[in-house]
């Protein structure tokens, strides 16, 4: 169910983003520009949350949960995920792909499927970059974000929020 406040905020954010679209209109469609701006905003928000969790919540130490032990970079990723899931879905639904006429329930299930695929790609990438290539966790997460963003845009546009 769409709420009036979400529609209102989505339109205001969309209008604000559209104000900056003019210089890029030959390069990006309005929808792609909105997606890029929302994606970058959510991505940077995710990096900040990830960094905060890694250094202040997990304090660069392994996290033990029942019989499992998670490396701090993996634990931070899994805790950051639900936060950016909801902010990303909201921005996609109300700002980037607001013309989609699919039911919200259908959109969120499809969005979740794509996020799960991105999580698997991201998890494998973190394991590879941090534990095999010995790259610091934050830049590894940033590199993973670039890879999953390309995958995410096309699957969201043509699957989750198709018009």
What does residue 28 show for φ and ψ, rounded to 5 degrees? -120, 140
163 residues of the chain, pLDDT tens digit each: 567 899 899 999 999 999 999 999 999 889 889 999 999 999 899 999 999 999 999 888 888 888 888 889 888 988 998 999 999 999 999 999 988 888 989 999 999 999 899 889 989 999 999 999 999 999 998 898 888 888 888 899 889 998 7
Are 80 and 46 spatial neighbours (Cβ–Cβ below 8 Å)?
A: yes
Report the predicted TM-score, pTM, of the whole model to 2 decimal places: 0.76
49: its two tokens: 């949350």
pLDDT at 1: 53
| Distance in Å from the first CA to the final CA of the chain | 17
Per-residue confidence (pLDDT) for residue 2, from 0 to 100: 63
| CA pseudo-torsion sign 67, 68, 69, 72 | negative
């Amino acid at each position: 169910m769409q709420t009036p406040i979400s529609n209102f905020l989505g339109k205001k954010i969309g209008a604000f983003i559209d104000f900056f679209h003019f210089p890029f209109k030959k390069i990006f469609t309005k929808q792609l520009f909105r997606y890029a701006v929302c994606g970058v905003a959510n991505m940077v928000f995710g990096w900040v949350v990830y960094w905060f969790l890694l250094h202040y919540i997990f304090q660069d130490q392994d996290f033990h949960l029942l019989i499992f032990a998670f490396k701090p970079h993996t634990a931070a990723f899994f805790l950051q995920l639900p936060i950016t899931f909801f902010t990303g879905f909201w921005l996609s639904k109300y700002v980037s792909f607001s013309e989609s006429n699919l039911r919200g329930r259908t959109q969120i299930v499809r969005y979740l499927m794509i996020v799960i695929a991105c999580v698997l790609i991201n998890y494998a990438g973190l394991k590879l970059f941090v534990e095999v290539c010995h790259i610091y966790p934050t830049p590894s997460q940033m590199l993973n974000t670039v890879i999953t963003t390309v995958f995410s845009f096309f699957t969201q546009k043509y699957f989750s929020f198709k018009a």
